[in-house]
Amino acid sequence: MRRTTTAWNRVAKEYINPINGDAMTFGEMIAWKLQGVIRRWEFLTLYTLCTLYCWIYGNDTVILWWNFASSFLAIVIEAIVGRAMFAVTKTDSAIIREIRKLGKHDTEHSIMDYAIDLETHAMVKKVLEILEKKLT
């Protein structure tokens, strides 16, 4: 079932990204938490030690299943990281579009200011010419 915009915003705002303060969905929050576990040195060290143990002391069946599990873990980690990166990209693209909109508005405003400056300069020049004629 498709969520309405208000329901989506309500769900997304329940979870806040601790780094940038952006709203996150439940799935993005889970991906964030899981990355906090898998990106630790303790996780990598423990997993490496388990792998070495299986390679050194395990029989063919243990090594086979450990390699299967490692392959599956790699896919899971890639999915977690990919989901988190997609969420960041989505947020960044929204911010870039907003900056582009502000930049266009600022450009238009600068063009109008420049036109007013030219008009004002021309008027001041005329006033100075009139004053110069009257003083001479």
Give the model's pLDDT for residue 19: 77
Q: How many domains does the chain have?
A: 1
Backbone angles phi, psi at 107, to 5 degrees: -65, -45
37's CB contacts (< 8 A; 6+ apart) are 43
State the residue range of the domain holding 38.
5-109
Alpha-carbon span 34 to 26, nearest angstrom = 12
13 domain residue, yes or no: yes
Contact call for residues 31 and 87 (beta carbons, < 8 A) = yes
| Per-residue pLDDT at 48 exceeds 70 | yes
117 domain residue, yes or no: no
99 domain residue, yes or no: yes
Give the model's pLDDT for residue 13: 55
| pTM assigned to the model | 0.58
Contact call for residues 77 and 31 (beta carbons, < 8 A) = no
Alpha-carbon span 67 to 54, nearest angstrom = 9
34 domain residue, yes or no: yes
What percent of the chain has a predicted confidence (pLDDT) above 90?
A: 39
126 domain residue, yes or no: no
125 domain residue, yes or no: no
45 domain residue, yes or no: yes
